[in-house]
């Protein structure tokens, strides 16, 4: 009898044993890509050291000390960040051949599906540098919360605690489908998991990735120039059912919303293939793209259905931010081959001690190969250490980046 | 019977159910309930600040806790379950078959939070040991305990979350652990003993049933078993401590965001407040919990150190300096 049971347990068709094998295999695969990030977590998503974490874990300071399992240290630079959506994209300096975990498709998740969370709850892994693995299911999808803006969160009962923030939520095929962030705490004076944890979905992160890599703060998308409502508006009561879409109460001309062709009375019921039933979901879907993106939105207008293309964000503000960054006058002429040209007396470059003929190689220890790349690393009012080659030697130059004019 | 099991495995809704049923039938025979009657007022407590130092008395829920038959005639449990001044004949052990027998708390280790209780009953089943090399992060485990009425076993399932915790003496699990099942055995789904549940106490930051629980490894228990049998109570080594709880960093200031200041701790006495950001200790820059650990390690208990913190005021962040005297605390 015991023998028979043992055989049953070992037989590959045993679903428990099957799940056990999958679980051990996925833990072995993904654990090495985990990043101990300050008092939180992160995950490496490429072999050359791109890593994701929460903004509330990383902030935007460059050169933070992080560790990989086993304790190897790296310095992390925060390249792109979204404080509202609570995501930061970082780059580990001088990283190569790192173990990493690919981003998966959070749209393919199903409620009830098994997932694991990798993290460092209560910083228990500090010292042994062994992260914590917890196991659970996807409890719900498309959860909406504001501040911080978890507008389209995955809810999981895989136990997530303080210190898990920024760590990955992973499917049993070893893909990152979310970045774990906030938890619901209902215990007095005690920040401990209650079976409700939230993760930012991987699809949203993928859509932000290009903007993150360009560097600096990334803003969430929204449809400028339309005012929406759910119910309480008499016109809505006659044109749609509650939960069946969002009603457009007003459209301003000469805005992206107006230009896209929205009209008052339209009911938005879908965007980019996602069904939109209410205002929270509308917000959740639209903020899945960063500002500057263009998305397709479907509306019902009387008996008709229409698909409209709309630009996300306020173009004037986007332009203003772009100009402000471009206008940052460091006071030198950039030349080919990363060579520093003529220097204006009294400029930031002159104060830093840059000399004509210097060849710029690094910013804050990070290699830069082009001027746009250099631009992307500039933060208004930041102190950056530049490394230049001068007379065949590496020289470090402290540069104070001025504030853009629009900030003052 | 085997056929029935096979059918259950293929047809049953939950393939894990038969394994758990077996645990309840067999492994549960090694799980005991422990009842302790304590002196109402322990010696030396006169009120005031002393209460917080004796939270074991004041924040302890009623009802039995759990333990495991570790060797013939010996029950192993969490030290917390049997700590405090126990009344004469106040320790009772309830066996799986309902028999209640007197127990004697004979030895313990504070650091590992384990306690040894002797009972005058022989021949109770002892669990087989799990092979430590065959298990690892992700292995399914079950935490067994005794129900509040002592009549049957409780089973909470989870995985091994980590294998190197509490200075490598414990494993970590996400099986829900609370005041009732702490002290019980953590077993594999085949009923092999991995460790003994420990370190769920009123002052544990991970709380109870929060998905973070610990079990002292059997190899660690074995190291100390003979000493405990001889009646030794091994105290934990005290380390310098401040009494702050660190948060997840602050986007504006580099340092440790203080999310809580413990009552009557050196930090509270010095005037450090929740929401402050600790940036320097004894001249060493603090950037994260590791650098705090490094800064605290060479200090001595009783030594006075200077702390620099940033405090948010209307005008922005302001630097403040505090002097405090380090106290000793046994860290789990």
**What chain A residue is nearest to B168 in terms of C-alpha separation?**
A128
Q: List pLDDT tens digits, range A1-27.
A: 455 555 555 555 688 999 999 999 999
* Letter string b/e over residues B3-19, b meaning 16 or more CB atoms within 10 A of that residue's CB: eebbebbeeeeebbebb
Rounded Cα distance, A162 and B205, in Å:
10
- The H or E element containing residue B130 is none
Q: List pLDDT tens digits, range A361-378.
A: 988 888 887 787 787 777
Give this complex's ipTM: 0.80
Rounded Cα distance, B24 and A340, in Å:
75
Structure-block tokens of residue B329:
């605390």
Of the pLDDT bands very low, low, confident and very high (cuts 50, 70, 90), residue A392 is: confident
**What chain B residue is nearest to A38 in terms of C-alpha separation?**
B288
pTM listed for this prediction? 0.82
Question: What are chain B's domains?
Answer: 11-234 (2.40.10.120), 239-329 (2.30.42.10)
Of the pLDDT bands very low, low, confident and very high (cuts 50, 70, 90), residue A59 is: confident
**What chain B residue is nearest to A193 in terms of C-alpha separation?**
B210
Rounded Cα distance, B286 and B63, in Å:
43
> What residues of chain B lie within 8 A of the CB of A162, using their CB?
247-248, 259
Rounded Cα distance, B122 and B18, in Å:
30
Smallest Cα distance from A131 to chain B, Å:
7
3-state DSSP call for residue A254?
Answer: coil
**Residue B175 pLDDT greater than 90, yes or no:** yes
Q: Is A355 exposed, middle or buried (0-12, 13-18, 19+ CB in 10 A)?
A: middle
- The H or E element containing residue B316 is strand B316-325
Rounded Cα distance, B93 and A76, in Å:
54
Mean pLDDT of chain A: 87
The label of the residue with tokens 């304590």 reads B38
Task: Give bridge partners of residue A64 from the DSSP assignment.
Answer: A76
A206 at the B interface (CB within 8 A)? no
User: How many angstroms from the chain centroid is the CA of residue B267?
Assistant: 24
Active site includes A46?
no
Q: What is the pLDDT of residue A383?
A: 77
Residue of A60, A61, A135 to mutate when probing chain B, most B C-beta within 10 A: A135
Whether A135 sits inside 8 A of B6 (CB atoms) is: no
Whether A191 sits inside 8 A of B190 (CB atoms) is: no
Long-range contacts of B226-230 (CB under 8 A, 24+ apart): B227/B107, B228/B106, B228/B107, B228/B108, B228/B109, B228/B114, B228/B115, B228/B116, B229/B74, B229/B106, B229/B107, B229/B116, B230/B107
Task: Give bridge partners of residue A136 from the DSSP assignment.
Answer: A115
Q: What is the pLDDT of residue A374?
A: 83
Of the pLDDT bands very low, low, confident and very high (cuts 50, 70, 90), residue B3 is: very low
Rounded Cα distance, A309 and A205, in Å:
22
A17 at the B interface (CB within 8 A)? no
Average pLDDT over residues B198-220: 91
Length of chain A: 408
Average pLDDT over residues B147-166: 94
Whether A26 sits inside 8 A of B162 (CB atoms) is: no
Q: Is B98 exposed, middle or buried (0-12, 13-18, 19+ CB in 10 A)?
A: exposed
Structure-block tokens of residue B167:
């200075």
The label of the residue with tokens 């044109």 reads A239
Closest by alpha carbon to B107, among B230, B288, B286, B239? B230
Integer-rounded Cα radius of gyration of chain A: 25
Q: Is A342 exposed, middle or buried (0-12, 13-18, 19+ CB in 10 A)?
A: exposed
Q: What is the pLDDT of residue B5?
A: 45
The label of the residue with tokens 């008092």 reads A39
Minimum mean pLDDT range among A46-55, A133-142, A221-230, B2-11: B2-11
Closest by alpha carbon to A77, among A385, A337, A381? A385
Query: Within 13 A of B144's CA, how many CA atoms are on the CB side?
Result: 33
Whether B15 sits inside 8 A of A60 (CB atoms) is: no
- Please state, in angstroms and as integers, the Cα–Cα distance from residue B293 to each residue in A117, B76, B297, following that order: 26, 32, 6
DSSP 8-class letter at B141:
E
The label of the residue with tokens 């215990």 reads A187
Q: Is A79 exposed, middle or buried (0-12, 13-18, 19+ CB in 10 A)?
A: buried
Q: What is the pLDDT of residue A408?
A: 34
Which class is domain A326-407?
mainly beta
Rounded Cα distance, A247 and A236, in Å:
6
What percentage of chain B's residues is helix, strand, coil (to nearest 5)? 20, 40, 45
Q: What is the pLDDT of residue A330?
A: 83
Q: What is the pLDDT of residue A34?
A: 98
Smallest Cα distance from A111 to chain B, Å:
17
Q: What is the pLDDT of residue B260?
A: 86
Are A212 and A110 contacting, i.e. CB atoms less than 8 angstroms apart? Answer: no
Smallest Cα distance from A37 to chain B, Å:
9
Rounded Cα distance, A225 and A250, in Å:
8
Rounded Cα distance, A155 and A199, in Å:
7
A130 at the B interface (CB within 8 A)? yes
Closest by alpha carbon to A240, among A231, A227, A253? A231
* Letter string b/e over residues B172-188, b meaning 16 or more CB atoms within 10 A of that residue's CB: bbbbbbbbbbbbbbbbb
Rounded Cα distance, B160 and B16, in Å:
17
Domains A226-313 and A326-407 share a fold: yes
Q: What is the pLDDT of residue A243?
A: 65
Rounded Cα distance, A160 and A361, in Å:
41
Beta strand A267-271 with A246-251 is antiparallel
Q: What is the pLDDT of residue A270?
A: 94
Q: Is B208 exposed, middle or buried (0-12, 13-18, 19+ CB in 10 A)?
A: buried
Whether B211 sits inside 8 A of A127 (CB atoms) is: no
Residue from A41, A165, A202, A287 carrying the catalytic annotation: A165
Q: List pLDDT tens digits, range A96-151.
A: 999 999 999 999 999 999 999 999 999 999 889 999 999 999 999 999 987 667 99
**Residue B40 pLDDT greater than 80, yes or no:** no
Q: To which CATH superfamily is domain A226-313 assigned?
A: PDZ domain (2.30.42.10)
Q: What are phi and psi of A237, to 5 degrees?
A: -60, -30
Active site includes A56?
yes
Q: What is the pLDDT of residue A36?
A: 96
Closest by alpha carbon to B241, among B268, B259, B212, B205? B268
- Residue boundaries of the structural domains of chain A: 19-218, 226-313, 326-407
**Residue B209 pLDDT greater than 80, yes or no:** yes
Rounded Cα distance, B81 and B116, in Å:
11
Average pLDDT over residues A179-186: 81
Q: What is the pLDDT of residue A3?
A: 53
Q: List pLDDT tens digits, range B14-27.
A: 788 999 999 998 99
> What residues of chain B lie within 8 A of the CB of A15, using their CB?
9, 15
Q: Please spell the DSSP secondary structure of A133-172, one letter per residue.
A: EEEEEEEEEEEEETTTTEEEEEEE-S---TT-TT-EEEET
**Cβ atoms < 10 Å from Cβ of A368:** 19
Structure-block tokens of residue A49:
């050291």
Are A179 and A168 contacting, i.e. CB atoms less than 8 angstroms apart? Answer: yes
Mean pLDDT of chain B: 88
Task: Give bridge partners of residue B91 from the DSSP assignment.
Answer: B36
Closest by alpha carbon to B27, among B189, B247, B207? B189
Classify the C-alpha dihedral A349-A352-A355-A358 as positive or negative. negative
A56 at the B interface (CB within 8 A)? yes
Average pLDDT over residues A56-79: 89
- pLDDT top residue among B254 and B120: B120
> What residues of chain A lie within 8 A of the CB of B189, using their CB?
16
Q: List pLDDT tens digits, range B264-298.
A: 899 999 999 988 999 999 999 888 777 888 888 88
Q: What is the pLDDT of residue A384?
A: 84
- pLDDT top residue among B69 and B42: B69
Q: What is the pLDDT of residue B9?
A: 46
Q: What are phi and psi of A337, to 5 degrees?
A: 70, 25
Whether B9 sits inside 8 A of A8 (CB atoms) is: yes
- pLDDT top residue among A50 and B86: A50
Of the pLDDT bands very low, low, confident and very high (cuts 50, 70, 90), residue B256 is: confident
Average pLDDT over residues A175-180: 98
Active site includes A107?
no
Closest by alpha carbon to A33, among A55, A9, A66, A7? A66
Rounded Cα distance, B247 and A142, in Å:
27
Structure-block tokens of residue A56:
């509330």
Percent of all residues in chain A with a pLDDT value above 90, rounded to a whole number: 56
The label of the residue with tokens 């922005």 reads B316
Q: List pLDDT tens digits, range A233-260.
A: 555 555 555 567 888 989 999 999 999 9
Rounded Cα distance, B141 and B214, in Å:
12
Which class is domain A19-218?
mainly beta
Q: List pLDDT tens digits, range A300-352.
A: 998 899 999 999 999 988 888 777 766 667 888 888 888 888 888 888 888 88
Whether A38 sits inside 8 A of B206 (CB atoms) is: no
Nearest 10 degrees: CA dihedral of B10, B16, B22, B23?
A: 170
Q: What is the pLDDT of residue A41?
A: 97
Q: What is the pLDDT of residue B59?
A: 64
């Amino acid at each position: 009898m015991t023998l028979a049971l043992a055989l049953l347990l070992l037989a590959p068709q045993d679903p428990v044993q099957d799940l056990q094998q999958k679980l051990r295999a996925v833990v072995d695969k993904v654990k090495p890509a985990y990043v101990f990030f300050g008092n939180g977590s992160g995950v490496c998503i490429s072999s050359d050291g791109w890593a994701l974490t929460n903004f509330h874990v990383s902030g935007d300071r460059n050169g933070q000390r992080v560790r990989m399992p086993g304790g190897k240290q790296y310095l992390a630079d925060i390249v792109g960040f979204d404080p509202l959506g609570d995501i930061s994209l970082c780059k580990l300096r001088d990283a190569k051949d790192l173990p990493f975990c690919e981003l998966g498709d959070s749209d393919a998740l199903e409620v009830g599906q098994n997932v694991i969370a990798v993290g460092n709850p209560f910083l228990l892994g500090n010292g042994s540098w062994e992260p914590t693995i917890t196991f659970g299911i996807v409890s719900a999808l498309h959860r909406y919360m504001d501040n911080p803006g978890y507008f389209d969160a995955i809810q999981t009962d895989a136990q997530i605690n303080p210190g898990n923030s920024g760590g990955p939520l992973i499917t049993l095929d070893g893909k990152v489908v979310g970045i774990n962030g906030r938890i619901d705490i209902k215990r007095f004076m005690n920040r401990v998991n209650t079976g409700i944890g939230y993760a930012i979905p991987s699809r949203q992160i993928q859509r932000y990735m290009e903007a993150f890599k360009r560097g600096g703060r990334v803003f969430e998308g929204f449809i400028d120039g339309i005012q929406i409502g759910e119910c309480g508006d008499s016109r809505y009561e006659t044109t749609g059912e509650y939960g069946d879409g969002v009603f457009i109460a007003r459209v301003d001309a000469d805005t992206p919303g107006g230009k896209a062709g929205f009209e008052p009375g339209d009911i938005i019921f879908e965007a980019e293939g996602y069904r939109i039933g209410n205002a929270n979901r509308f917000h959740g879907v639209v903020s899945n793209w960063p500002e500057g993106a263009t998305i397709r939105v479907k509306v019902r207008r009387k008996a008709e259905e229409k698909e409209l293309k709309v630009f996300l964000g306020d173009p004037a503000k986007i332009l203003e931010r772009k100009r402000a960054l471009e206008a940052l006058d460091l006071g030198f002429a950039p030349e080919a081959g990363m060579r520093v040209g003529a220097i204006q007396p009294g400029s930031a470059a002159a104060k830093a001690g840059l000399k004509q003929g210097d060849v710029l190689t690094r910013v804050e220890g990070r290699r830069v190969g082009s001027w746009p790349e250099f631009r992307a690393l500039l933060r208004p009012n930041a102190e950056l250490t530049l490394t230049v080659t001068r007379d065949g030697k590496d020289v470090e130059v402290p540069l104070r980046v001025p504030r853009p004019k629009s900030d003052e | 019977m085997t056929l029935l099991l096979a059918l259950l495995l293929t047809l049953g809704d939950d393939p894990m159910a038969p394994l758990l049923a077996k645990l309840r039938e067999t492994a549960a025979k090694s799980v005991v309930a422990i009842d302790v009657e304590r002196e109402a007022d322990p010696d030396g407590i006169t009120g005031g600040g002393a209460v917080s130092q004796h939270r074991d008395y004041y924040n302890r829920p009623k009802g039995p806790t759990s333990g495991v038959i570790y060797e013939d005639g010996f029950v192993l449990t969490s030290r917390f379950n049997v700590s405090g001044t126990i009344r004469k004949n106040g320790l009772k052990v309830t066996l799986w078959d309902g028999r209640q027998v007197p127990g004697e708390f004979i030895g313990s280790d504070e650091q590992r939070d384990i306690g040894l209780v002797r009972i005058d009953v022989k021949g109770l089943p002892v669990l087989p040991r799990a092979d430590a090399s065959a298990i690892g992060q992700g292995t399914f485990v079950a935490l067994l305990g005794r129900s509040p009425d002592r009549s049957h076993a409780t089973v909470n399932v989870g995985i091994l979350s980590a294998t190197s915790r509490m200075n490598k003496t414990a494993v970590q699990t996400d099986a829900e652990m609370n005041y009732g099942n702490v002290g019980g055995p953590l077993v594999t789904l085949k009923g092999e003993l991995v460790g003994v549940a420990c370190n769920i106490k009123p002052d544990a930051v991970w709380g109870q049933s929060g998905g973070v629980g610990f079990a002292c490894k059997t190899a660690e228990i074995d190291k100390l078993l003979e000493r405990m049998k001889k009646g030794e109570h091994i105290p934990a080594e005290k380390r310098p401590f401040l009494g702050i709880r660190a948060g997840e960093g602050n986007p504006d200031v580099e340092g440790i965001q203080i999310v809580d200041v413990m009552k009557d701790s050196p930090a509270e006495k010095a005037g450090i407040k929740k929401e402050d950001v600790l940036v320097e200790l004894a001249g060493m820059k603090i950037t994260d919990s590791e650098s705090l650990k490094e800064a605290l390690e060479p200090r001595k208990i009783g030594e006075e150190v200077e702390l620099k913190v940033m405090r948010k005021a209307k005008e922005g962040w302001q630097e403040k300096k505090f002097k405090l005297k380090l106290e000793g605390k046994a860290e789990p």
